Structure 1
Amino acid sequence: MRSRRWSRSGDTRDTLLRAARDVFLAKGYADATVADIVAASGISVGSLYHHFGGKPGLFLALWEQFTRGQEERTARAAKAAGDSAERFLAGARAYLEGSWEQREVARLFLENDGPAEFGTLRRQRGWNWIGGNRRLLGLDGSRESQVLVVLLTTMMGEAGREVAACESGLDAAVTIDEVIRLVRRLLPTSSGVAEPTP
């Protein structure tokens, strides 16, 4: 009995998340209403508030789902690569490919549309991402290393936005290849010096 109840609860959450995703993509966060999401899902208002606390909770749950998927994708790719620079590049490529594959949702989260707390949470996740990239690259705590990792992380975030905005798969592939080429030039080699500019 209990497992069936948990299964129904999970199904309700999934249905609400799918409906919220569709409504947010169609209308944007600001113009979407709880009534729109309830109508699209067929789930009661009470269930929506029980599971997510309202429209902001749904948006943030979708963002967490998207972000977690991107983190898992990049971690798998990085784990399969060689040295620290190649791990970073493999993770960067996986992140950008995920931005294209999930472009509709990526566009939603890359805009400034969202609940008030979204900006703060996104900034915190950005700082966590910077710290993770510093560790992945094996950089020390020097100011130079901090500048490099902030630039690389910011570059990847903006590149994700650019890839998500591409009109075609070919444009996305060209953009991803160019970003990886440019990032490779910034990365320190085993000698500690970035590759020379061709």
Structure 2
Amino acid sequence: MKSRRWSRSSGTRDALLRAAREVFLSRGYAEATVADIVETSGISVGSLYHHFGGKPGLFLALWEQFMRGQEERTSRAAKATEGTKERFLAGARAYLEGSWEQRDVARLFLENDGPAEFSTLRRQRGWDWIGGNKRLLGLADTRETHVLVVLLTTVMGEAGREVAACESDDDAQVTIDAVIRVVRRMLSEADRPHTGS
């Protein structure tokens, strides 16, 4: 009995998330209403509030779902590659390919159209991403390497936006290849000895 209830609950959540995605993509977050999502899903208002607490909760759950998928994709690619910098590049390419494959929802999250708490959560996720990249690259803990990792992470975030905005597979692939070349050069620069000015 308990597993059937859980299954029904999971199905309700999935249906609400699918409907929210459809409504947010067609109308944008600000213009979407709970009534639109309820109508599209066929699920009651009470269930929507029970599972997500309202429209902001649905948006944030979609974002978490997208980010979790991106993290899994990049982690798989990095683990399948040898060498610290090559792992970073493989993960970077996987992230960008995910931005293209999921471009509709990626564009939604890059538009800055979301609930008030979204920018704070996204900023926190960015700092977490910087920390993860720093660990992945295994660079010495210096101010210079911290700046490098911040720049690499920022480049990847903006590159994801560029890839998601591409008009064709060819444009996306050219953009991804160009970004990987730039990131490779940045990583190569980190290997060179630097002297003070």
TM-score w.r.t. the length of structure 1 is 0.95
Distance 2:126 2:2 in 1: 39
Partner of 2:74: 74
Partner of 1:83: 83
Q: Say whether 1:109 aligns with 2:109.
A: yes
Partner of 1:51: 51
Q: In structure 2, the residue corresponding to 1:187 is in which secondary structure? A: helix
Q: Which moved more, 1:80-89 or 1:180-189?
A: 180-189
Distance 1:56 1:81 in 2: 38
User: Residue by residue, what CA displacement relative to the aligned partner does 1:4-35 show, whole Å, maximum 9, x if unpaired?
Assistant: 11000000000000000000000000000000
Whether the 8 Å contact between 1:103 and 1:165 is mirrored in structure 2 is yes
Q: Say whether 1:192 aligns with 2:180.
A: no
Q: In angstroms, what is the RMSD of aligned CA positions?
A: 1.2
Mapping of 1:1-198 within 5 angstroms? 1-188=1-188, 192-193=191-192
Distance 1:121 1:76 in 2: 24
TM superposition outliers: structure 1 runs of 4+ over 6 Å: none
Distance 1:144 1:8 in 2: 52
In the alignment, structure 1 segments of 5+ residues that lack a partner are none
Q: In structure 1, the residue corresponding to 2:191 is in which secondary structure? A: coil
Whether the 8 Å contact between 1:85 and 1:188 is mirrored in structure 2 is no
What is the letter of the counterpart of residue 191 of structure 2?
Answer: G
**How far does residue 144 in structure 1 lie from its aligned partner after superposition?**
0.2
Whether the 8 Å contact between 1:77 and 1:94 is mirrored in structure 2 is yes
Distance 1:185 1:134 in 2: 17
What is the aligned residue count? 193
**How far does residue 141 in structure 1 lie from its aligned partner after superposition?**
1.9
Distance 2:141 2:43 in 1: 50
Seq. identity, %: 80
Whether the 8 Å contact between 1:60 and 1:118 is mirrored in structure 2 is yes
User: Residue by residue, what CA displacement relative to the aligned partner does 1:127-151 show, whole Å, maximum 9, x if unpaired?
Assistant: 0000000010001221100110000
In the alignment, structure 2 segments of 5+ residues that lack a partner are none
Distance 1:43 1:106 in 2: 25
User: Residue by residue, what CA displacement relative to the aligned partner does 1:54-88 show, whole Å, maximum 9, x if unpaired?
Assistant: 00000000000000000000000000111110000
